Protein backbone atom coordinates (compact mmCIF):
# COMPACT_ATOMS: atom_id res chain seq x y z
CA UNK A 1 0.00 0.00 0.00
CA UNK A 2 0.88 3.65 -0.10
CA UNK A 3 3.15 4.99 2.60
CA UNK A 4 5.21 7.99 3.69
CA UNK A 5 8.55 7.82 5.45
CA UNK A 6 10.07 10.79 7.25
CA UNK A 7 13.42 11.23 8.85
CA UNK A 8 13.57 10.56 12.56
CA UNK A 9 13.58 13.52 14.88
CA UNK A 10 14.10 15.52 16.82
CA UNK A 11 16.09 17.90 14.68
CA UNK A 12 17.82 20.62 16.70
CA UNK A 13 19.24 23.65 14.90
CA UNK A 14 20.54 27.06 15.77
CA UNK A 15 18.66 30.10 14.54
CA UNK A 16 19.49 31.01 10.91
CA UNK A 17 20.71 27.48 10.13
CA UNK A 18 19.65 25.63 6.97
CA UNK A 19 16.89 23.07 7.38
CA UNK A 20 16.22 19.87 5.49
CA UNK A 21 13.60 17.34 6.56
CA UNK A 22 13.58 14.27 4.36
CA UNK A 23 10.38 12.68 3.11
CA UNK A 24 10.05 9.75 0.73
CA UNK A 25 6.91 8.05 -0.40
CA UNK A 26 5.63 4.83 -1.91
CA UNK A 27 2.55 5.16 -4.07
CA UNK A 28 0.83 3.97 -7.19
CA UNK A 29 0.47 6.76 -9.68
CA UNK A 30 1.37 10.35 -8.86
CA UNK A 31 -0.48 11.53 -5.79
CA UNK A 32 -0.56 15.09 -4.53
CA UNK A 33 1.99 15.70 -1.78
CA UNK A 34 1.74 17.97 1.23
CA UNK A 35 3.66 19.32 4.18
CA UNK A 36 1.73 20.19 7.32
CA UNK A 37 3.01 21.83 10.50
CA UNK A 38 1.69 21.29 14.00
CA UNK A 39 2.53 23.77 16.75
CA UNK A 40 2.27 22.62 20.38
CA UNK A 41 -1.31 22.05 21.45
CA UNK A 42 -2.74 22.86 18.04
CA UNK A 43 -4.13 21.10 14.98
CA UNK A 44 -2.41 20.78 11.64
CA UNK A 45 -1.77 23.72 9.33
CA UNK A 46 -1.05 23.28 5.65
CA UNK A 47 2.43 24.56 4.90
CA UNK A 48 2.74 23.79 1.20
CA UNK A 49 1.69 21.33 -1.48
CA UNK A 50 2.61 20.01 -4.91
CA UNK A 51 0.22 18.24 -7.23
CA UNK A 52 2.48 16.87 -9.96
CA UNK A 53 6.05 15.85 -10.68
CA UNK A 54 8.63 18.69 -10.66
CA UNK A 55 6.18 21.06 -8.98
CA UNK A 56 7.73 23.18 -6.25
CA UNK A 57 5.55 24.17 -3.32
CA UNK A 58 6.61 27.15 -1.24
CA UNK A 59 5.34 29.17 1.69
CA UNK A 60 6.86 31.29 4.48
CA UNK A 61 10.38 30.55 3.26
CA UNK A 62 9.81 26.78 3.16
CA UNK A 63 10.13 24.88 -0.11
CA UNK A 64 9.69 21.32 -1.32
CA UNK A 65 9.98 19.84 -4.81
CA UNK A 66 8.02 16.82 -6.02
CA UNK A 67 10.72 14.43 -7.28
CA UNK A 68 9.21 11.53 -9.17
CA UNK A 69 12.55 9.86 -9.95
CA UNK A 70 13.53 9.64 -6.29
CA UNK A 71 9.95 9.51 -4.90
CA UNK A 72 10.85 12.31 -2.53
CA UNK A 73 9.40 15.57 -1.26
CA UNK A 74 12.05 16.99 1.06
CA UNK A 75 11.26 20.14 3.04
CA UNK A 76 13.87 22.91 3.08
CA UNK A 77 14.30 26.36 4.54
CA UNK A 78 17.32 28.55 4.14
CA UNK A 79 17.28 30.23 7.55
CA UNK A 80 15.16 28.89 10.40
CA UNK A 81 13.76 30.94 13.25
CA UNK A 82 12.85 30.02 16.80
CA UNK A 83 9.20 30.40 15.79
CA UNK A 84 9.62 27.50 13.32
CA UNK A 85 9.90 25.07 16.21
CA UNK A 86 7.09 22.57 15.67
CA UNK A 87 6.34 19.10 14.34
CA UNK A 88 6.34 18.74 10.56
CA UNK A 89 4.31 16.09 8.75
CA UNK A 90 4.67 14.92 5.18
CA UNK A 91 1.53 13.48 3.59
CA UNK A 92 0.24 12.09 0.33
CA UNK A 93 -3.27 11.96 -1.00
CA UNK A 94 -4.61 8.49 -1.67
CA UNK A 95 -7.51 8.48 -4.07
CA UNK A 96 -9.75 11.47 -3.58
CA UNK A 97 -10.57 11.07 0.03
CA UNK A 98 -7.76 10.34 2.38
CA UNK A 99 -4.31 11.48 3.36
CA UNK A 100 -1.54 9.18 4.49
CA UNK A 101 0.80 10.91 6.91
CA UNK A 102 4.33 10.24 7.97
CA UNK A 103 5.17 9.92 11.64
CA UNK A 104 6.26 13.54 11.91
CA UNK A 105 9.61 15.22 12.54
CA UNK A 106 10.04 17.47 15.53
CA UNK A 107 12.12 20.59 14.89
CA UNK A 108 13.63 22.59 17.72
CA UNK A 109 15.35 25.87 16.89
CA UNK A 110 17.61 27.41 19.51
CA UNK A 111 18.21 31.15 19.80
Partner 1 sequence: DAGVTQSPTHLIKTRGQHVTLRCSPISGHKSVSWYQQVLGQGPQFIFQYYEKEERGRGNFPDRFSARQFPNYSSELNVNALLLGDSALYLCASSTGAQGAEQYFGPGTRLTVT
Per DSSP bridges, beta strands 11-14 and 33-38 are unpaired
For partner 1, which stretch binds (CB under 8 A), given 19-27, 38-46, 64-72, 75-83? Answer: 38-46
CB of 100 to partner 1, least distance (A): 7
| Per-residue interface string for the shown chain with partner 1, residues 51-90, x marking contact by CB under 8 A | x-------------------------------------x-
**Residue 79 φ then ψ, to 5°:** -150, 105
C-beta atoms surrounding 80 within 10 Å: 22
> Shortest gap between Cβ of 106 and partner 1 (angstroms)?
9
Q: 10 Å Cβ neighbour count for 65? A: 17
Amino acid sequence: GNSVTQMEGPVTLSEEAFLTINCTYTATGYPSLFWYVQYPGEGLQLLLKATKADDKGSNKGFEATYRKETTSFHLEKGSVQVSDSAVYFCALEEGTYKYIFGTGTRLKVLA
